[in-house]
Amino acid sequence: MKRNSEFAEDLTPAIAFVRRRLPTLVLDQGFNRHESPQTPLSTSARRTSHSQVAFQPSVQTSLNPPPSLIAYRATLICGLNRVLRRRMDANEKGDALEQAVRGIETTILRSFPGYSERTFRIESKKLIEIDGVRHEIDIYVTVALGPGYQPVFIFESKNWKDKVSKNDIIIFSEKIRATNAQQGFFVAKSYTSDAEAQAKRDPRLVLLNATELDSSAVMVPNQFHGLHVDEPEQMSLDIIPADVQNPRTSRALDPKHADFQLRGQSISLIDFINAWATQLRDEQTQSFKSLQAGWGPHMLHLDDERDFNEGEATVNGKPTRKMRLSFDVRVHVLKAFVVSAFDVATRGRSVVVKCETPVVTALVHFVQVDANAAQKSADR
């Protein structure tokens, strides 16, 4: 069988083809970076420590698909086109299609630089026995995405000359039920109308078309695996003296340069807020019912506030009679589309594949400090 690298050959015509057919991607996913995005559904190609990042609230953006998504689609149609045009027997065709899927999904795995690693467990030809009935699963994937979120995805690949029938879909639906899979993907060249109608009856079943390069029906779902955060690019600290009624007369300070003391001890205001927000974020994301959510982006809106009594806190050396910190965090959770990778050398055995994927991180949009401080403190 051909190596995965061969599926990346001659992508130029395919890339042009994908650009013509793939619609503009419109997501409130924080693509408003100064640099062109290099990874899909990513706010940054490199993770920076919180104390070094400047923030501002994100805006909804509309842009063409990022290069890695274009390359993924191109790899898909080139790889499958190469496989489907080859002359081989039935077993070879099945192996070749599965290899093409491996190569395509590996392209996704390699497109997430700069994030914490997560583990993907892949099993080929996995046998599941439920109530005395044995089921063979072509590709069985478990993915560790976040706290309490480890979904199962299964694949069925059929590289047949004839169309997939309704009975094949019924059998695959039973496999989805038996494995309690979150999603099942049936990969084939074509389906009967009855098969397509039957598939619509199972909300967890997705039909993927392994089509020729010149076909208009390529494309698999746009979602990728991962949890994503909308990271603002600038955070400001407003100090508003109690005797100032018009907030426009307040002065904004960069939290990185503000001297903040809590109970006589100097601390980093950014680190303090991030630790506070992270605790709240972890509590909320663990209770997020990801298994009941649909595909695509979901937003968790978190807000909280904390009051400091007289003498507890000082800002730039000026004591406060009362101070209130408040923050507003929007965590975007991207409901996953399966990502997997396979190694021909370990076919038929369980393998562990490490993948770099986005991790949920909550960062502060805006912090406001109500301080009964001197006007000079606000002007500094």
pLDDT tier for residue 271 given thresholds of 50, 70 and 90 = confident
71 or 142, which is more confident? 142
Least confident of 5-9, 186-190, 214-218: 214-218
6 or 16, which is more confident? 16
Which residues sit opposite 325 in a β-bridge? 306, 369
Q: What is the pLDDT of residues 293-321, one digit of tens each?
A: 554 556 666 667 777 776 677 777 776 66
Q: pTM for the whole thing?
A: 0.40
Least confident of 45-59, 163-177, 320-334: 45-59
Strands 183-188 and 205-209: parallel
pLDDT tier for residue 195 given thresholds of 50, 70 and 90 = very high
Q: What is the pLDDT of residue 164?
A: 92
Q: What is the pLDDT of residues 338-358, one digit of tens each?
A: 333 333 343 333 333 332 333
* pLDDT at residue 86 tops 70: no
Q: Which parts of the chain are beta strand (E)?
A: 25-27, 61-63, 117-130, 133-143, 152-158, 183-188, 205-209, 237-240, 251-253, 260-262, 265-267, 296-308, 313-315, 318-319, 323-335, 351-356, 367-370
Contact 262, 312 (CB under 8 A): yes
374 or 316, which is more confident? 316
* pLDDT at residue 109 tops 80: no
Give the integer Cα–Cα distance in Å for 19 and 146. 33
92 or 271, which is more confident? 271
Q: What is the pLDDT of residue 143?
A: 67
Q: Where are the domains of the chain?
A: 237-335+362-379
Q: What is the pLDDT of residue 264?
A: 80
Q: What is the pLDDT of residue 351?
A: 32
Mean pLDDT value across the chain: 56
298 or 261, which is more confident? 261
Give the integer Cα–Cα distance in Å for 231 and 73. 27
What average pLDDT score do residues 181-196 get?
A: 86
43 or 317, which is more confident? 317
Q: What is the pLDDT of residue 140?
A: 83
What average pLDDT score do residues 83-107 get?
A: 60
Q: What is the pLDDT of residue 166?
A: 95
**Which residue from 19, 225, 209 is spatially nearest to 118, judged by alpha carbons?**
225
